[in-house]
Chain A
Amino acid sequence: MTTREAKEQLDLLQGTLDLLILKTLALGRAHGHAIARSIEQRSDDVLQVGHGSLYPALQRLLKLGLIEASDGISENNRKARFYRLTAKGRKKLYAEEGRWQKFSRAIAQILAPPVEEGQ
């Protein structure tokens, strides 16, 4: 692993993985691998999902009733488990999105002034 990679790839903040999974599933149903891949691609490979850690998160969301699972066949004809958003999950996603945006704005505001001063 090179230093360059380390700079560009960020570890996920605690709890954000749930949000990312919900957001991914908002586009439609997907299996575990597809979710991981989607998160990586949509963040331009900046966010690296430890694929293994995806599964406890999925179990947590299942338990909370935010997503549901069904068995199906993957695009390359394998048996796979597909996850999709429930109505409750969709509501949660909107709420969380709002919260997250507020949060990131606040962080950005705090971080912004020193940048101005430095310029």
Chain B
Amino acid sequence: MPSILSGWKKRREALLAEMEAHIEIEAQERIDAGVPPEEARAEARRKFGNALLAAERSREIWGGVWLERVLNDLRYALRRLIHAPGYTTTLVLTLALGLGSVTAMLAIVDSVLLRPVALPHSEQLALIYVQGQQEGTSASSYSISYKQADTLRRNVSAFAALSAYYLAAHPVVAQDGTRIAISVQATPDLFTVLGVRERLGRLIEPSDARAPVVVVNDAFWRERLHADPRAVGTTIQMSDRTWTVIGVLPEGVRFPQSQDGPVVYAPITLNAKGEDEDDNFNAGSVLVRLKRGVSIQRARAEAQSAFAYIDPTAAAKHDVLKIVPYQEFVTGDVQKPLLMLLGGVGVLLLIACANAANLQIGRAASRMAEMQIRAALGASLGRLAQQLLAESLMASLAGAALGGAMAYAAVAAVRKAYGGQYARFNELAVHSEVLAACALLAVLVGMAATLTPMLRIRRQTRARMGARTVTRTGRLPGILVSLQVALTCVLLAVCGLFARTFQALEHVKLGFDPHHVTTLVLMPKNSHQNGEISRQIETQLLRKFETLPGVESVTMQTSIPFSNLNVVLHSIPDAEDHVWRASDSADYSFVSTDFVRTSGIRLLRGRSFTREDETTSGTIPVLVNEAFVHEYFARREPIGAWIEAHRDPSETDADLPFTQKMTVVGVVENELQGGDLGAPFQPMVYMNYLALPKSSFLNVIFSMSAQYAVRSSLAQDVLDKELRATVKQVAPQMVEMNLAPMQDSIAASLSQRRLALRLVGGFGAVALLLSAVGIYGVLAYAVTQRRREIGVRMALGASRQRVTGMVARQAGGMVLFGLVPGIAGAWAAGYAIRSFLFGVKDLDPLTLAAVGVLLLVISALAAFVPALRAAWVNPVEMLRAE
């Protein structure tokens, strides 16, 4: 820029020199003709006319005058901003906060929700599952069977390709030892559906069905195979089988979901197990690639008619096929929270804008005299506007730059902290489009902020100069403050609701005592291991753990609160004196004898398990929870009552896990199941697995995973060492999946809500600060403007209290005007986020009252200084100034 300016300057100087030479020649001619030199020069100059004007005209012809003016304006604006550091800092920081948080949130939304998943033409990918509709309120969804999937593949023309797969976490033995990896067992067309090519070797083909071959992803190749280019052809061990690595996927292929870790892809094995009965597959997924140009709706309609044709029974139950775009499937969980947070930062930006506008209105007012003089000297309104705009844009672009940098840092921090936790957070980045949007937003904000000052200048420059003694109070700044107060009220109310939710969750009655309990999750290397053998090994381990020094008690538990590897046995019970209903269901958890002691669950009635229960014949002793009693034994004494598995008329003994009846020996308190603190309690039956008949097909669950809860007051690292050594010695075929204090898992389950709470809390705090600055700014400015009026009032007898009251009234008016719509808005916001709330209603009077009081207090503090200043106006001084 300076080079352009200096270029113009040089050119102008050259032109002036040339014109000077011209005048010289003219003068010389006259001197030669005998005119005295002085007179000759003056005449020549007169004849030439206004050289500066000519230079100015020439300058206009060269073009770029506008640019020079803009540069001049920018230089001037920069000087003015530097000369008012307080104003500039406040303005730039306000805008940086507003724009920065919006940019960060936009970047996250863009990376997670908007960017297509990194697979070729990912918009054509979709998942199919069946939505059961029997209960109306809580429709369950399940996967279609392999046979159904196969029929769909062959009969639905809307699908270009279809693949069925299921996921499991398996211990995988490679050269570097045994570690868990995700395995995807898929039909051979998986890679056709995904549309990816291999980086090394080849992909799985239809002829590979049942062959022990695997394809691995880039992470597996790097972490487990040392990124060896000759890794193709080597073998790994999984489920006690040897698999040959035949191919490696390129970097950046993330499947399933947005998985970053090591993944092994193997052809699905459908041998021996009947196609439809494959247990694994019922929990599987079906991924399709739609033909180009085929809409989801059309594909669904076609698939639905094919589905109804192949499975009349499901269709009769009104089950419908659902097709979900793959992207939505991957990011569905985070979509709502992210959009909610985006709404939150949007509100924050509005508050920041209102503040920026108010700051600039005040600023413009203080420059009114300058503007009037410039207008009087012939500056057009457009020229003045250009100048104001330059200053405003410079401030908002500086704010955007600072905000962009903040967003950049924030996004990097979020990616680092939560990359592995939420879908696609490992792909977080601030893309150039987002930065462009941020800059555009800054320009819009800058332009909007000059609008009012400009209108005011127009009015004032048209008015007579003498009008300066009249106090002018615009209504807009007050309205903007009210708007800020309203928006802050909404944000704070949401904050309050989150805080109350969090509080409620932290104080949820767990139903058990997690202190000094360590959970250990193991998995057999071979998932096809005979269930009875697994059961024996796990019992040996249990016995060994019990004897460890420092261990108070141990229990095995198929469903441990907050574990990710729970095996939930869902079943329909029949209970004594209970009339069977279609909606009956209960969850079963296998535990061992010391369950009550170890978990710390409260025994409400009856007794806990004893050693004798392990070898019982006849009925199986079980514990049930309060929820179960409520559902099934509402009208009778639960202790001593029997329960048995419900039998449909078509079912035989072989369909049941065991035929013995169960006897309730005790009732325990409800305890949390799964990992969600806010989830409702399910009816539970706790069965001592040691009493489970040896022949039950349920033994298969012992080959899936083994979970132990260990109560001990040993130091964590000592206990961990002991437990690991025991596993190594007694059960080397088991792989450790997780070993952690139970309290850590509980804290982790709160972390998502904690993140949301922190973010929203941060927004609320910033909003409050901005509002306070806004109130202060407007009042301070109003007092400055009204000093003369206040002086006159005081001279006429108004007391200091009255004057203070006048300012306080103005503040109160602005705040109350904001609070009323604010509370309505808070109610609406609470309704919008009700699904995130727990233990608090969407309209919480306590929260609203707290927010209202907080806002009033902050406003009072912000109004305090201006009110005091008004009270200390010296009437004599003011009147002398008249």
Q: Using known A-B contacts A32-B18, A32-B22, A79-B21, determine if residue A51 contacts B61 with beta carbons closer than 8 Å.
A: no
Pick the contact of A56: B21, B25, B54, B63 (CB < 8 A): B54
Spot the interface stretch: B45-53, B158-166, B223-231, B311-319: B45-53
* B25 adjacent to A55 (CB under 8 Å): no
Chain A interface extent, by class? 20 to 34
In the complex, what residues of B have CB within 8 A of residue A63's CB?
61-63
B residues 413-453 touching A (CB-CB < 8 Å): none
Decide yes or no whether B26 CB sits under 8 A from chain A: yes
Specify which chain A residues have a CB less than 8 angstroms from the CB of B55 in the assembled complex: 55
**B722 CB–A CB distance under 8 Å:** no
Contact B58 A52 (CB under 8 A): no
- A40-83 near B? 1/0 per residue, CB < 8 Å: 00000000001111111001100100000000001010111100
The complex places the Cα of A111 from the Cα of B62 at a distance, in Å, of 39
CB distance from B46 to the nearest CB of A (A): 10
Check: A33 CB closer than 8 A to any chain B CB.
Answer: yes
The A contact surface, by secondary structure, is: helix
Asked whether, in the complex, the Cβ of B49 is within 8 Å of the Cβ of A53, the reply is yes
Identify the closest chain B residue to A51 (Cβ).
Answer: B48
A74-B48 CB under 8 A given contacts A52-B19, A60-B61: no
In B10-65, the 8 Å CB interface with A consists of 15, 18-19, 21-26, 28, 47-51, 53-55, 57-58, 60-63
Task: Give the shortest distance, in Å, between B407 (CB) and chain A (any CB).
Answer: 45
- Interface contact B49-A52, CB-CB below 8 Å: yes
Residues of B contacting A31 in the complex (Cβ-Cβ under 8 angstroms): 22
Count of chain B residues near A, Cβ 8 A? 24
Which residue of A52, A74, A79, A80 is within 8 Å of B50 (Cβ)? A52
What are the residues of chain A within 8 A of B63 when measuring CB–CB?
63
Alpha-carbon separation in the docked complex, A59 to B60 (Å) = 10
Knowing A60-B61, A63-B61 touch, does A52 contact B25 (C-beta < 8 A)? no
Q: Which partner residue on chain B sits nearest A69 by CB separation?
A: B18
B21-A80 in contact (CB<8A): yes
Known: A33-B25, A59-B61, A63-B62. A52 touches B18 (CB 8 A): no
Chain B residues positioned under 8 Å from A80 (CB to CB): 18, 21, 25
When the two chains form their complex, are residues B61 and A52 in contact, meaning their CB atoms are under 8 A apart? no
CB <8 Å contact, B62 and A52: no
| B61/A56 in contact, CB under 8 A | yes
Q: How far, in whole Å, are A1 and B802 apart by their CA atoms in the complex?
A: 73
A76 touches B58 (CB 8 A): no
Query: Are A55 and B62 in contact (CB-based, < 8 A)?
Result: no
| Cβ contact of B26, chosen from A50, A51, A81, cutoff 8 A | A51
Q: Are B57 and A51 in contact (CB under 8 A)?
A: no
Q: Is A51 in contact with B22, judged by CB distance below 8 angstroms?
A: yes
Tell whether, in the assembled complex, residue B28 and residue A55 are in contact, meaning their CB atoms are under 8 Å apart.
no
B22 contacts A59, C-beta separation under 8 Å: no
Q: Please name the residue on chain A nearest to B19 by beta carbon.
A: A55
State in angstroms the CA–CA spacing of A79 and B777 once bound together. 63
A55 proximity list for chain B (CB < 8 A): 15, 18-19, 54-55, 57-58
- Which of A55, A56, A59, A76 counts the most chain B CB atoms within 10 A? A55
CB distance from A73 to the nearest CB of B (A): 11
Distance (Å) between the CB of B17 and the closest chain A CB?
A: 9
Q: Do residues A81 and B47 form an inter-chain contact, with CB atoms below 8 A?
A: no
Nearest CB of chain B from residue A91's CB, rounded to whole Å: 21
Measured between beta carbons, the chain B residues less than 8 angstroms from A50 are 48-49
Taking the nearest CB of chain B, how far is it from the CB of A28, in angstroms? 18
Docked CA distance A31–B19 (Å): 11
Contact code string B232-276 (vs A, CB < 8 Å = 1, else 0): 000000000000000000000000000000000000000000000
Closest-by-CB residue of A relative to B11 is A59
Name 6 A/B residue pairs within 8 A (Cβ), A-sorted. A51-B22, A51-B23, A51-B48, A55-B54, A59-B62, A80-B25
4 A-B pairs with least C-beta separation: A52-B49, A56-B57, A52-B54, A59-B58
